[in-house]
Chain A
Amino acid sequence: MKKTISVLSLLLVVAAFSSFTACASDSLRSAAPNSVVADADNAGLKLPAGFSALKVAEGLGRARHIAVTAQGDIYVKLMGRVAEGKAVLRLRDRNGDGKAEEISGMGNYGGTGIAIKNGYLYASSDEEVFRYKLNEKGEVISPMQPEKIITGLINRRQHESKSITLDNAGNIYVNIGAYSNSCQERDRQPGSLGRMPCPILDSAGGIWQFRADKLNQTYGDGIRYATGLRNVVGLDWNNQLNQLFVMQHGRDDLHNIFPSLFTEQQNADLPAETMYALKKGDNAGWPYTYYDPFQNKKMLAPEYGGDGKKEGGKEFIDPVVAFPAHMAPNALLFYTGDMFPAKYKNGAFIAFHGSWNRAPLPQEGYYVAFVPFDENGKPGKWEIFANGFAGVEVVTGTRGAQHRPTGLAQGPDGSLYVSDDSKGTIYRIIYKGK
Chain B
Amino acid sequence: MMMKKIGILPAFALVLMAFQTAPKKPLPVKKPVAVAPAGLAAAVNRGKTIYLERCLACHQVDGGGVPHLNPPLDGASGVLGKDKARLIRIVLKGFDERVELDGEYYSNNMAAHADLSDQQIADVLTYIRNSWSNKAGAVTPAEVKAVRARIK
Chain A residues in contact with chain B, CB under 8 A?
62, 80-81, 157-160, 186-190, 192, 252-253, 256, 259, 267, 356-357, 359-360, 396-400, 404, 422
Question: Is the pair A399, B62 in contact by a Cβ cutoff of 8 Å?
Answer: yes
Q: Is the CB of B77 closer than 8 A to any CB of chain A?
A: no
Chain A residues with CB under 8 Å of B56's CB are 359-360
Distance in angstroms between the alpha carbons of A364 and B122 in the assembled complex: 33
Q: Of residues 35 to 84 in B, which have CB atoms within 8 Å of A's CB atoms? A: 52-54, 56-58, 60-70, 72
Q: Is the interface of A mostly helix, strand, loop or mixed?
A: loop
Residues of B close to A186: CB separation below 8 A: 94, 111-112
Nearest CB to that of B74 among chain A residues? A399
Q: How far is the CB of A268 from chain B (nearest CB, A)?
A: 10
User: Within the complex, which residue of A80, A192, A259, A397 is in contact with B68, where a contact is CB–CB below 8 Å?
Assistant: A80
B61, B63, B64, most chain A CB atoms within 10 A: B61
Q: Which residues of chain B are within 8 angstroms of A396 by Cβ–Cβ distance? A: 60-62
How many angstroms between the C-alpha atoms of A188 and B115 in the bound complex? Answer: 14
Q: Cβ of B110 < 8 Å from any Cβ of A?
A: yes
Cβ contacts A to B, 24 pairs, < 8 Å: A80-B105, A157-B105, A158-B107, A160-B107, A186-B111, A186-B112, A187-B96, A187-B111, A188-B108, A189-B94, A189-B111, A189-B112, A190-B113, A190-B115, A252-B57, A256-B57, A356-B69, A359-B56, A360-B56, A396-B60, A397-B63, A397-B65, A404-B67, A422-B67
CB <8 Å contact, A359 and B60: yes
With an 8 Å Cβ cutoff, the count of chain B residues facing the other chain is: 30
Report B-chain residues with C-beta under 8 Å of the C-beta of A159.
Answer: 107
A404–B65 Cα gap in the complex (Å)? 15
State whether A356 touches B107 (Cβ < 8 A): no
Chain B residue at minimum C-beta to C-beta distance from A160: B107
B60 x A397 contact (CB < 8 A): yes
B64 in complex: contacting residue of A160, A397, A422, CB < 8 Å: A397
Interface SS of B by simple majority: loop
C-alpha gap A160/B54 in the complex (Å): 25
Report the minimal beta-carbon distance from A189 to chain B, rounded to whole angstroms. Answer: 4
Residues of B within 8 A of A192 (CB): 111
B55 to chain A, nearest CB (A): 10
Q: Give the CA-CA distance A187 to B115 in the complex, in Å.
A: 16
Q: Is the Cβ of B66 less than 8 Å from the Cβ of A399?
A: yes
B67 touches A399 (CB 8 A): yes
Residue of B56, B66, B110 with most chain A CB atoms under a 10 A cut-off: B66
Residues of A within 8 A of B112 (CB): 186, 189
CA distance A352 to B29 in the complex (A): 49
Q: Is the CB of B64 within 8 A of A357?
A: no
Supposing A186-B112, A187-B111 touch, asked if A357 and B61 sit within 8 A by C-beta, the answer is no
CB contacts (< 8 Å) of B72 on chain A: these are 399
Q: Pick the most buried of B57, B60, B98, B110: most chain A CB atoms within 10 A of its CB.
A: B57
Task: Looking at the assembled complex, report how far the CB atom of B111 sits from the nearest CB atom of chain A, in whole angstroms.
Answer: 4
In the complex, which of the residues A81, A158, A160, A359 contacts B57, with contact meaning CB atoms closer than 8 Å?
A359
Which residues of B (87-112) have their CB < 8 Å from a CB of A? 94, 96, 98, 105, 107-112
Residues in A neighbouring B68, C-beta threshold 8 A: 62, 80
Q: Which residue from chain B places its CB closest to the CB of A255 in the assembled complex?
A: B57
Which residues from B are CB-within-8-Å of A256? 54, 57
Q: Restricting to B119-141, which residues have a CB under 8 Å from any CB of A?
A: none
Q: What CA separation (Å) do A80 and B94 show in the bound complex?
A: 24
Bound: A422/B112 CA distance, A = 29
- Other than the known A160-B107, A188-B108, A397-B63, what 11 A-B pairs have Cβ atoms closer than 8 Å? A80-B68, A159-B107, A186-B112, A188-B109, A188-B111, A253-B57, A356-B58, A359-B56, A397-B60, A397-B61, A398-B64
